[in-house]
Structure 1
């Protein structure tokens, strides 16, 4: 996909623990229908379609869903985005715990945003000033009062993993934070929707993806796997196929605009 415009925007500072950034994608209609891989990154997103909606597929299934005005929860599986018309999408990328902060019972499956929130910005408001519209909406959605349920434990664990994907295990995270493995699992399920082991896997894989995209075609998969913290190349290959639905070489050789967009501004880890 040729990205004509891709931009990120900072949310209101009062949303800093809930939202990482807002984003905008605008692109012309492709000459031929495109299929781009949306890879998991440990963050839920809400996306609004202000143009012609595409569709969303799950590799290995027959599921086909309209890709518009939807909450996409944290997942370990990829989506394939299918677009034949022009693109105009606006979205929210939450912190890993952000969706559960905004909505206590945030769904674990892709859900129309109208079934999740009490209201949401109109297309006209998003086109006029997307930051102001999204800020007003999400500030109204947040519940007042203290946050309970070991969110602080999850925040600390996530920050440790994101800073060093290869230096931690579930056991070491629990030991450092002074909680049991069972407590850590319950907290991750409550606030993120996946287990700490799955979160580690997603973030390690994402680092591998970033290196794969950055490196030239001459670098060996074994070197890239080692750089991402995998035990061996076979482990990296299994995780890559699990999270993208294809092998690393096939993905590298058909790098699509969505993947490049997601990793272009990623800070090195």
Structure 2
């Protein structure tokens, strides 16, 4: 597996977290993508991906490129046999200034890149055959050439506050910015596609999964929940299954063997 990533150019830092390149055999036929507190744009250089519906059938073909907004629940993807793509990870509010679509239209779904970032369908041909660093450079050049405005500083600051404390009271956060609670909700939906409380829920889960101690003795779920901000074990299990589609034990069985690289991108051999 070849993997390369780098931070964005300074001009894109307000909008983008990183760029990456990946090439190698798929770990399994299917991949369960768990909720993430950022937005991904991927240029596919391999055979098509497919979004798989709850019925187990292929629903949406993703051939050239696609955008996945902030997802409040997991998405199941059927991967091509060889993974080969270039990607860019936007800040939770970052893609809003590059697209004419409402950001809410990107949540709970995966959309063709050309629908979101006009002209991006041509990137597949443009990046084919490029080495990792060169591919990231070319993708970055495309994004840099798009017209953009500056993100609302209140949304930027609010996301940072929630990232630092996902249990933060949202109404109090709005008061800190001198705006009504409803105004903060509207700003979040405009820039992130979801409400601030939903964003905090995604952040809490993402941070919990990526902090799991997978080396050495694994604590019991009771111990893990006690050290987290979840109320109790029953609340945690219900929330976990709703967000991930896994029981905690099943999730830990898979990711405990594979490691943190698969904490949010979980390979699954079948849909049973």
Query: How many Å separate the matches in 1 of 2:46 and 2:15?
Result: 27
What pairs with 1:202-221 in structure 2 (closer than 5 Å)?
202-212=202-212, 214=214, 218-221=218-221
Query: How many Å separate the matches in 1 of 2:4 and 2:258?
Result: 13
Q: How many residues align?
A: 254
Conservation of the 8 A alpha-carbon contact between 2:21 and 2:136: no
TM-score of the pair, normalised by structure 1 = 0.84
Question: Does 1:76 find its partner at 2:46?
Answer: no
Q: Name the SS for the 2:224 alignment partner.
A: helix
Question: Does 1:50 find its partner at 2:55?
Answer: no
Give the corresponding residue for 1:233. 233
Give the corresponding residue for 2:164. 163
Q: CA RMSD in A?
A: 2.6
Which residue, 110, 133, 144 being the options, matches 2:138?
A: 133
Q: Where in structure 2 are there 5+ consecutive unaligned residues?
A: 265-272
Conservation of the 8 A alpha-carbon contact between 1:205 and 1:228: no
Are the structure 2 counterparts of residues 118 and 67 from structure 1 closer, same or farther at C-alpha, using a change threshold of 3 Å?
Answer: closer
1:19, distance to aligned residue in structure 2 (A): 0.9
Conservation of the 8 A alpha-carbon contact between 2:35 and 2:243: yes
Are the structure 2 counterparts of residues 240 and 67 from structure 1 closer, same or farther at C-alpha, using a change threshold of 3 Å?
Answer: farther
Conservation of the 8 A alpha-carbon contact between 2:100 and 2:116: no
Which aligned runs of 4 or more in structure 1 are off by greater than 4 angstroms? 58-63, 256-259
Which residue, 85, 88, 93 being the options, matches 1:89?
A: 85
Conservation of the 8 A alpha-carbon contact between 1:25 and 1:90: yes
Give the corresponding residue for 1:143. 148
Conservation of the 8 A alpha-carbon contact between 2:33 and 2:74: yes
What do the CA deviations read for 1:13-69 (whole angstroms, capped 9, x no partner)?
A: 100011111112211256xx5222211112111111111233222446756322441
Query: How many Å separate the matches in 2 of 1:15 and 1:164?
Result: 25
Query: How many Å separate the matches in 1 of 2:261 and 2:53?
Result: 20
Query: How many Å separate the matches in 2 of 1:157 and 1:85?
Result: 40
Give the corresponding residue for 1:267. none
Q: Where in structure 1 are there 5+ consecutive unaligned residues?
A: 265-269
Q: Which has the higher contact order (CA 8 A, sep 6+)?
A: 2
Moved more, 12-21 or 230-239: 230-239
Conservation of the 8 A alpha-carbon contact between 1:45 and 1:93: yes
TM-score of the pair, normalised by structure 2 = 0.83
1:124, distance to aligned residue in structure 2 (A): 4.7
Moved more, 252-261 or 110-119: 252-261
Conservation of the 8 A alpha-carbon contact between 1:59 and 1:245: no
Conservation of the 8 A alpha-carbon contact between 2:19 and 2:88: yes
Query: How many Å separate the matches in 2 of 1:178 and 1:61?
Result: 47
Query: How many Å separate the matches in 1 of 2:204 and 2:73?
Result: 14
